[in-house]
Amino acid sequence: MNRFFVGLITGIVITVVIFLFYINKNPHPLDDVKVTQVSGEKITHSDFNYTEKNRISFTTQADGKGEIHTEIPKSNIPEAHAWITKNHGVLFDVLLVDQRMYSISYFHRWGSLSFGAGPVFSEKKVEGVKIGGQYWW
């Protein structure tokens, strides 16, 4: 039992150190939107808003008449659609300790956090339950 708590505390300390080391305090600056003039009056895009939950919005202005406000649903972007809708995962582990043990866990993601659990079993019996969590950044 003492070895369990030493392993647990060691795992928690390593996780916290890695989290603090890799946490992104300054978010990566977004690349500028490239506008290529094909024909007609010169146009520019401005007032980009990426923070709204379900859409990206911006304003388009032309040197001639007119101004356009555009909203693009985030789910129209394939990578964003995958992140928003694919929230389930399965994890398979092989643990090589005194005896070979296997684990299969189901995880569910809520935003940047995911939690899951599953059985741990050896070749002879069910050894226990594994509970895990993840933080995505």
Give residue-wise pLDDT tens across range 83-125.
888 888 888 888 888 888 899 899 999 888 889 999 998 888 8
Same domain, 77 and 95: no
In sequence order, which ranges of the chain are alpha helices (DSSP H)? 2-22, 78-85
Domain presence at residue 34: no
What confidence tens digit (pLDDT) does each residue in 3-60 have? 777 777 877 787 777 766 666 555 666 677 777 777 777 888 888 888 777 888 888 8
Q: Which residues contact 106 (CB under 8 A, 6 or more apart)?
A: 88, 89, 90, 91, 116, 117, 118
Same domain, 68 and 97: no
Domain presence at residue 36: no
Domain presence at residue 60: yes
Domain presence at residue 10: no
pLDDT at 27: 60
CA–CA gap between residue 55 and residue 105 (Å, rounded): 33
pLDDT at 117: 92
Pick from 94, 43, 108, 48: which is nearest to 72 by CA?
Answer: 48
What 3-state DSSP class applies to 33? coil
Domain count, the chain: 2
Q: Which residues contact 36 (CB under 8 A, 6 or more apart)?
A: none
Q: Which residue has the higher pLDDT, 32 or 77?
A: 77
pLDDT at 22: 62
Domain span including residue 127: 87-137
Same domain, 134 and 114: yes
Domain presence at residue 31: no
Domain presence at residue 11: no
